[in-house]
Structure 1
Amino acid sequence: MPRAGLSTAVVVAGAAEIADEVGLDRLTLAMVAKRFGVALPSLYKHVEGLDALLQKVSALAIAELAEELVAAAAGLAGADALRAMAAAQRAYAKRHPGRYPAAQRVPDPADPAHVAAGEKAVGVSFAVLRGYGFDGDDLIDATRAVRSAIHGFVTLEIAGGFGLPRDVDRSFERLVDMLHEGNRVAAQARRLRS
């Protein structure tokens, strides 16, 4: 019989908290069982194993991140929208250093909520970058470029990879400024070619 109050959602939330504390790569089912004071086999009533748990943590993280991106970019356009979206992604990653990497997993096609959360997160980027005039394949390319740049910066920052004597916040602002200018120029060049 499952422990009273323990559900899949509770197990996943607990695993996400542990991932934030110790790192996603160090998360184990034993840690989750210990957190809830249950024997390890009891977790199998709620998740099929570690990979299934990681996929569910990913779904949770993507859904959380998507909500924050939507809220940040709502009602904004151009550079303001890009800055807000980038800042929201960075803030989420800093608050949730363990679950943030889980948000980078490809959504499980067998989990409609996971797929919907992934589509919502990508949809925010699409909406922001359409504001520059991108569409079709150019929109996908721009989305991948912006996502890669912001993710790379944030991942290095979380890992302590910026040791030079320069304010990291200022460097992040410069990165977003460069992304804005690059998008503006690329969109303008695209319009001239058309």
Structure 2
Amino acid sequence: MARVGLTTEGLIRAGAETADEIGFERTTPTELARRFGVRTASLYSHVKNAHELKTGIALFALAELADLASEAVAGRAGKDALTAFANVYRDYAREHPGRFAATQFPLDAEAAASSAGGRHAQMSRAILRGYRLAEPHQTHAVRLLGSVFSGFVGLEASGGFSHSAPDSQESWTEILDALDVLLRTWPTTS
């Protein structure tokens, strides 16, 4: 029987908060059971195993990030939209490092299909329509943006920029300026 007050949604939310505190990789059913003051077996009426818990946290984080990004880019276009979109990812990674790590968790096909991942791609494509990129160039640009955002955020979070000048904010601003120029002048011939 499930413990009164313990729900799958509450467990996933607690998992997301725990991931931010101790890291996504260290967030397990055992750790959550300890925090809830229950036996680990009590959680298995809500999640089957650690993989399902991590999948739930990933889906939660992807939806939360998509909501924030959607709000940030609403009514914006071109470089303004690109900058708002990029800043949401960077800010989210800074404020919620465990949740951001969860957004990188490999999802199976069924979970991926039900995730907010499609919303992220749609927002990227909407931003890129302002740059007049047609396929297959648009797909290449979506992949570039994801790589740049994830790579920069990962290096910044690991302290990769903390021992050299200029500071990471200056680099971030210049990178976004360069991306804007690249997207406006994207080579469309092979």
TM range (shorter): over 0.9
Would you say the 8 A contact 1:62–1:103 is kept in 2? yes
Residue pair 1:107, 1:115 contacting (<8 A) in 2 also: no
* Deviation of 1:101 (Å): 1.4
Deviation at 1:108, TM superposition (A): 3.9
Note the 1:1-150 alignment, pairs <5 A: 1-111=1-111, 115-150=114-149
Please tell me whether the aligned partners of residues 63 and 117 of structure 1 are also in contact (alpha carbons under 8 angstroms).
yes
Counterpart Cα distance in 1 of 2:9 and 2:91 = 24
Using a 3 Å threshold, how does the CA distance of structure 1 residues 105 and 130 change in structure 2: closer, same or farther?
A: farther
| Contact 2:62 2:115 survives alignment (8 Å) | no
Which moves more between the two structures, 172-181 or 115-124? 115-124
CA contact (8 A) 1:62 1:117 kept: yes
Deviation at 1:116, TM superposition (A): 4.3
Which letter does structure 1 place at the counterpart of 2:135?
A: G
Q: What code does the residue aligned with 2:132 have? A: G
Cα gap change, 1:168 to 1:138, in 2 (>3 Å): same
What is the aligned residue count? 189
1:161 aligns to 2:173 (yes or no): no
Deviations 1:14-42 (A, max 9, x none): 11111100111222221110111110000
1:102-148 Cα distance to aligned partner (Å, 9 max, x none): 11234443348x63411111111010011101122111100000110
Q: Is the 8 A contact 2:59 2:115 kept in 1?
A: no
Identity %: 39
Which digits, 9 at most, give the CA deviation of each residue in 1:74-113, with x for residues without a partner? 111111000000001101111110010111234443348x
Secondary structure of the corresponding residue to residue 98 of structure 1: helix
TM-score (norm 2): 0.94
Decide whether the 8 Å contact of 2:23 with 2:98 is kept in 1: yes
Q: Normalized per residue, which structure has more helix? A: 1
Cα distance in structure 2, aligned partners of 1:84 and 1:166:
22
In the superposition, the TM-score normalised over structure 1's length comes to 0.92
C-alpha distance in structure 2 between counterparts of 1:105 and 1:143, whole Å: 19
Q: Is the 8 A contact 2:61 2:99 kept in 1?
A: yes
Secondary structure in 1 matching 2:79: helix
TM-superposed CA distance for 1:183, in Å, is 0.8
1:129/1:139 contact within 8 Å kept:
yes
Mapped partners of 2:118, 2:10: distance in 1: 24
Backbone CA RMSD of aligned residues: 1.6
Q: Aligned-pair distance for 1:176?
A: 0.8
Uncovered stretches (5+) of structure 1, i.e. residues with no partner: none
